[in-house]
Amino acid sequence: MIVTLPQRHGIDLTVAAPPSKSFTHRALIAAALARGTSTIIHPLIADDTKLTMAALRRLGVHLEAGAHSVTIEGCDGAFSCPPGTVLDLDNSGTSLRLLTSAALLSDHPVTLTGSTRMQERPVGPLADALVALGGRISFEQKTDFPPITVRGRLEGGNATIDGSASSQFASSILMAAPYAQHEVTLSITGTPASQSYLDITAGVMTDFGAVIRREGYTQFQISNQNRYTGHTYVIEGDYSSASYFFALAAICGGRVAVTGLNPDSVQGDRLFLDALQEMGCQVTYAHDGVTIEHEGSLAGITIDMSSAPDTVQTLCMVAAVAKTPTVITGIGHLKYKESDRLAVTVERLRQLGGIANTDDDRIIIQPATLHGGTIDPANDHRTAMSFAVLGLGIGGVSITGAECVNKSFPGFWDAIKDVMG
C-alpha cells in the first residue's frame, strides 16, 4: 500500500487518541496471570496487541476479544500449555520481552521467536537475570538473541539487570515477580532506557493488586504474597500516537485537539508537548485532552528524549522544518527498535533534502529546504507515521508499505484523511 501526502497548511482538527499500546500489553498479561475474571475496557486492538493475545491463548488462557473490550479468565499464575509450545511474536518486541519471564510460570518449556528483525534484537541481559532467579535459558540459534527457550521455575531472590538497553527487560521480570516462589529484588544498573515505562509497569501491577517497594529506578522489591486479582481495567489514551497529531499543528500550522488523554499520565511521551512548547507552539491542557496551536516559524532546541523514545522520530520531523538547529540526545537505544531508527530517520530525511546526522546517542538536524520524495519506512510503523506528518507539511511525499501502521495504530490513515482531503 502506497499513500501520497499532499501539502496542507492551516489545519483545524479534533481527533480522539487511540488507546495506549504499552498499557494494553501490560494489562493483558496481568489479567492473564490474575485469579478471577478481568475485563479490559478500551484496549488497543492492533497487530502487536493481537500477538500478545494469541500468545496468551497458546499458553492456555481463555480470552475473548470484542470491539471495545477484552474478557480474560486468569490462570492464577500457572500457564497450562502443551510440550513444545512456540510463541511466534513476529515483530512485537514488547510481546516477546514481557512474555519471556512469564513463560517461567508454564508447566512446560516455552520457545519465543519472531521475525528476522526480531532475531536481531538482543535479549541477553533479560536471560541472565532470569537465570539468577531460577530459570534455565537456551538460545536456539545465536547467543543472546531469539529464538529463546525458557525452562525451569521462577524461584525468586535477587537479580541485577542492565537497564540501559531496554526498560522492557526489567518490566518483564517485574510483571512475573508476584508469582515467584520467594520475594524478588531486582536491581537495575545504568540509566534505564525509557524509564517512564517502568512507571507504567509498576502502575498496572499495583492496580491489579501487586505490592512493590522501590527506590526510584534502581531497585524494586516485589512481594510474592500479593498476587494479581481480576477486575475491570480501563486503558488510557496514548501520548505516543497522539504525537503525530500534535506535530501536524506544529508543521502545517493551525490547531489540533486530541481528546481521551490523561493529563496526569505517567507516560514519558508527554515530554513531546514540552518540546513543542519550547519550539514555539501553544499548548493547552484540558481535563480530557490537549490542544496544540501554532502559526509562524519554529525554533530548534536541544533536548534529552531518553524518557520519550517513541516520539523522537516525530520530533525529528518538526525539527526538520525549524529555522534553527535541533539536537536530540539520550536516544542510542533506538538502534534496537523495529528498525535502527537513528540511521533510518537520518537517511530518509536526507532523501527529502534534509540535513541530519547521528552518532551513538544523538541526532542533529539543521535547517534545510525540503522537497517531496518516496519514503520506505523499512516496515517500521513509527517511521511511516512520522514521515506522513512531515509529508503533509511539504507535499509530494509517498509512503510505501503504509500498512505497517497497523502494528500500533490501525486507524492512522483514516484519522488524517480529512487533512489529506
Domain boundary among 165, 193, 223: 223
267 and 244 together in one domain:
yes
160 and 281 together in one domain:
no
177 and 63 together in one domain:
yes
The answer to whether 254 and 9 have CB atoms below 8 angstroms apart is: yes
The answer to whether 6 and 420 have CB atoms below 8 angstroms apart is: yes
Domain boundary among 223, 251, 266: 223
208 and 244 together in one domain:
no
Query: Could you tell me if residue 47 is left (phi over 0), alpha (psi between -120 and 50 degrees) or otherwise beta?
Result: alpha
323 and 193 together in one domain:
no
Among this protein's residues, is 12 annotated catalytic? no
379 and 351 together in one domain:
yes
Residue 369 lies in a domain: yes
Per-residue pLDDT tens listing for the chain (421 residues): 999 999 999 999 999 999 999 999 999 999 999 999 999 999 999 999 999 999 999 999 999 999 899 999 999 999 999 999 999 999 999 999 999 999 999 999 999 999 999 999 999 999 999 999 999 999 999 999 999 999 999 999 999 998 877 889 999 999 999 999 999 999 999 877 778 999 999 999 999 999 999 999 999 999 999 999 999 999 999 999 999 999 999 999 999 999 999 999 999 999 999 999 999 999 999 988 999 999 999 999 999 999 898 999 999 999 999 999 999 999 887 776 777 888 899 999 999 999 999 988 899 999 999 999 999 999 999 999 999 999 999 999 999 999 999 999 999 999 999 898 7
Sequence-ordered list of residues with C-beta below 8 angstroms from that of 268, at least 6 positions apart, any chain: 194, 195, 196, 197, 199, 307, 308, 309
308 and 181 together in one domain:
no
Residue 230 lies in a domain: no
256 and 385 together in one domain:
yes
What is the count of structural domains for the chain? Answer: 2
Residue 374 lies in a domain: yes
Residue 232 lies in a domain: no
Residue with the three cell numbers 519465543: 112
Residue 234 lies in a domain: no
Predicted pLDDT of residue 409 = 97
Q: What is the pLDDT of residues 225-262, one digit of tens each?
A: 999 999 999 999 999 999 999 999 999 999 999 999 99
State the chain's maximal CA–CA distance in angstroms. Answer: 62
218 and 245 together in one domain:
no
Question: What does residue 6 show for φ and ψ, rounded to 5 degrees?
Answer: -80, 160
372 and 398 together in one domain:
yes
Residue 148 C-alpha cell reads as 529463546
Q: Chain centroid to CA 151: how far? A: 27
197 and 243 together in one domain:
no
Q: What is the DSSP-derived secondary structure letter of residue 336?
A: G
What's the pTM? 0.94
Question: What does residue 217 show for φ and ψ, rounded to 5 degrees?
Answer: -115, 20
Residue 269 lies in a domain: yes
Predicted pLDDT of residue 336 = 67
| DSSP β-bridge partners for residue 189 | 162
Residue 59 lies in a domain: yes
Residue 407 lies in a domain: yes
What is the span of the domain harbouring residue 252? Answer: 3-17+239-420
Predicted pLDDT of residue 325 = 98
CATH number at 406 reads 3.65.10.10
Strand positions, DSSP E, 170-251: 184-189, 212-215, 219-222, 232-234
Domain boundary among 195, 223, 251: 223
Q: What is the pLDDT of residues 162-220, one digit of tens each?
A: 887 788 999 999 999 999 999 999 999 987 777 899 999 999 999 999 999 999 999 99
Predicted pLDDT of residue 165 = 73
247 and 177 together in one domain:
no
Selecting among 47, 48, 269, 310, the annotated active-site residue is 310
